Structure 1
Amino acid sequence: MLSMSFLVTVIWYCRRLYSFLAQLLKRWSNYLQRKLIRNLSVLTEVDLLGYSVREWKGETQQAKHMREAYEELFWSCHVKYLRQVRRDNYCVLRAVLFQIFSQGIPFPSWMRERDILKLPEKLLYSQGCNWIQQYSFGPERYTGPNAFGKLRKCMEALKTNWIEIIATKDHEERGNICNTLFSDESKEHKLYEAIKFIMLYEVVEAYEKIKNREEPIHNLFSLLLARDSSSDPLSFMMNHLNSIGDSLCLDQVELFLLGYLLEVKIRVYRLHRFNTEEFQVNYPDEYRREWNEISLLTEDDRYYHIPVFRT
């Protein structure tokens, strides 16, 4: 009788312990989920028209104009959902790279032929660009002699994560990898700085070809170097690239360069230009048929979100 009572007591305590652990596990899971969602720099899909109504309330001319632009996207362009992107000065790089990774788009052809890990070394030693020490990593305005080592780590992060992404064929699994990557600020910032550096490296290459009167270069480099603020690679870095991630986003010319280097057609829906020829713009405007296409949505040419299509 005593042993039976003891057994009942043990079972009762085991059930209480199981119930307590189950509740603890559930709370911990909910906490981690909330933390992940809070840290995500690219949010999950929301209904496009619902977003439009929430963001553009009222009867002002601008509000009506923007709601009409969203309705045009919904009915004519088959954009049914929207993924909001964190509004900071890495915004456009984040929106572009997230889509490249989530779609499993491979390295551009030129990147498959060269080891991008060697680009910082080549720029510093082979081409004598000692001014690379003035490179700024977003909000980190000055790194000096540490710039080379930091750039190397950024290039390693880009190459390693991109290889992992394109090796992941399952769409859902690839999405989980992207969510993890784009919820870690330190890791994702390395990716953006690597892309910035690649842009700088290619401008240096184009500039040298112009100086040496070598093979013709793409006209976008001529356009970029024709600006007073970026007439050479150093001024391009100091006046444009160094501010990206800190106080500025990419401008129109740099979007052309970004699409060209990553070998993707970037289609941008510019809602503030609705009912004009500039409502839909491609970066670059000349692209190869085999390039993958990604899309951006902007209300002001500063912050960008990701449109999601459904037929």
Structure 2
Amino acid sequence: MLQAVKGQFALTMTLLATALWYCRQLYTYIAHLLKWWSRYLQRKFTNNQGVSAEADLLGYCAKEWKEETEQAKHMRKAYEELFWRHHVKYVRQVRGDNYCVLRAVLFQIFSQGIPLPSWTKTTDVLKLPEKLLYSQGCNWIQQYSFGSEQYTGSNTLGKLRRCIETLRSQWMEVSSIKDPYERGNLCNALFADESMEHKLYEAIKFIMLYQVIEVYECLNNKQECIPSFFNQLFVRDTSLDPLSYMMNHLNAIGERRGLDQVELFLLGYSLEVKITVYRLCKFNSAVSQESYTDVYQRDWPEVFLLTEDDRHYHIPIIRM
């Protein structure tokens, strides 16, 4: 009897040890799988991030411009000037596509919790496409291009409405968050979703077009109180009126080109922010720092851009 009990006990201990071994192996496998999945998601999130985390400005410069060419020396001096004179201590890298200016400006608007432009309080932005098409006779807006989508025909109004609704709802949600940390987390999530991003940028492009149409009508009605940069926009052969501006300039933004200098004025005017650009390629010249706003708009919130070549823009972070 005792021998049988001992045998049963030994068998039980063997089975228990075997079960523990399998549990340990399963735990190790699951831990390895979770670690691999975590790294995969981290890489995927990082690769998709439209705006990177803050990086030390001089460290970024040393990494990007470590050669001994004249251009590299010029850039190192420009970055040092930016660091010591303008108190730019950090930089956020922005994904380098043709939406980069819109991305850099909108990210700052969202992360700072800047409210919607004041003109949206008296204008139903969701009805702007229909207003322009039916009330103002701009049937040509159906030729609007959504980045790589060159022509959408009868679907244009619906797509525009969805883009504007996305921009409005996301802007209202972000600006209502008082905690900067929570607001920053939401911004990071928004600017890691490329499909969402493109809707936001196409809505901003359309708002820019709306402002061009409004000011053009004011000019035709001999109204004088308009921002001076519109004269520069309408004097070009390629943008004599809103239609030519859309066809020759706006439709290409995001697909074949970014924004030019006069469009930085238009962007700031449309979103009611001052845009200040540090142009490192123009270091030690009169245009190394430019503000794209009219004098009477000084009370608007300010956002900053940094560019090395007037094509690709990053976000400079100022710390006193």
Structure 2: how far apart are the matches of 1:287 and 1:12? Answer: 75
Matching residue of 2:4:
none
The partner residue of 2:144 within 117, 130, 135 is: 135
Bigger CA drift: 93-102 or 218-227?
218-227
1:169–1:107: structure 2 CA closer, same or farther, 3 Å change rule?
same
Bigger CA drift: 1-10 or 204-213?
1-10
Q: Percent identity?
A: 66
Matching residue of 2:266:
257
The partner residue of 1:29 within 38, 41, 45 is: 38
Structure 2: how far apart are the matches of 1:225 and 1:218? Answer: 12
The partner residue of 2:28 within 16, 19, 36 is: 19
* Structure 2 counterpart of 1:190, one-letter code: K
Matching residue of 1:88:
97
Cα drift, residue 57 of structure 1: 3.1
Cα drift, residue 274 of structure 1: 0.8
User: In the alignment, is residue 161 of structure 1 matched against residue 162 of structure 2?
Assistant: no
Matching residue of 1:217:
226
1:58–1:285: structure 2 CA closer, same or farther, 3 Å change rule?
farther
Kept in 2, the 8 Å contact 1:80–1:310? The answer is yes
User: In the alignment, is residue 78 of structure 1 matched against residue 87 of structure 2?
Assistant: yes
Bigger CA drift: 10-19 or 218-227?
10-19
Matching residue of 1:208:
217
Structure 2: how far apart are the matches of 1:60 and 1:35? Answer: 35
Structure 2: how far apart are the matches of 1:296 and 1:110? Answer: 24
Matching residue of 1:227:
236
* Structure 2 counterpart of 1:232, one-letter code: D
Matching residue of 1:293:
302
* Structure 1 counterpart of 2:318, one-letter code: F
Map residues 98-113 of structure 1 onto 2, 5 A cutoff: 98-113=107-122
* Structure 1 counterpart of 2:76, one-letter code: R
CA RMSD between the two structures: 1.6
User: In the alignment, is residue 189 of structure 1 matched against residue 198 of structure 2?
Assistant: yes
Kept in 1, the 8 Å contact 2:227–2:294? The answer is no
Structure 2: how far apart are the matches of 1:15 and 1:141? Answer: 57
Structure 2: how far apart are the matches of 1:73 and 1:15? Answer: 55
Greater gyration radius: 2
Matching residue of 1:46:
55
Cα drift, residue 111 of structure 1: 1.6
User: In the alignment, is residue 55 of structure 1 matched against residue 64 of structure 2?
Assistant: yes
Kept in 2, the 8 Å contact 1:265–1:287? The answer is no
* Structure 2 counterpart of 1:97, one-letter code: L
Q: How many residues get paired?
A: 311
Kept in 1, the 8 Å contact 2:92–2:317? The answer is yes
Cα drift, residue 140 of structure 1: 1.5
Matching residue of 2:124:
115
Matching residue of 1:64:
73
Structure 2: how far apart are the matches of 1:295 and 1:276? Answer: 19
Cα drift, residue 287 of structure 1: 4.7
Structure 1: how far apart are the matches of 2:31 and 2:113? Answer: 37
* Structure 2 counterpart of 1:189, one-letter code: H
1:58–1:215: structure 2 CA closer, same or farther, 3 Å change rule?
closer
Structure 2: how far apart are the matches of 1:171 and 1:26? Answer: 30
- TM-score, with structure 1 as normaliser: 0.95
Matching residue of 1:97:
106
Q: Which aligned runs of 4 or more in structure 1 are off by greater than 6 angstroms?
A: none
Deviations 1:273-298 (A, max 9, x none): 11112111111142534321111000
The partner residue of 2:179 within 149, 170, 179 is: 170
In structure 2, stretches of 5+ residues that fail to align are: 1-8
The partner residue of 1:198 within 195, 207, 229 is: 207
- TM-score, with structure 2 as normaliser: 0.92
* Structure 2 counterpart of 1:95, one-letter code: A
Kept in 1, the 8 Å contact 2:274–2:298? The answer is no
- 3-state SS of paired residue (2:54): strand
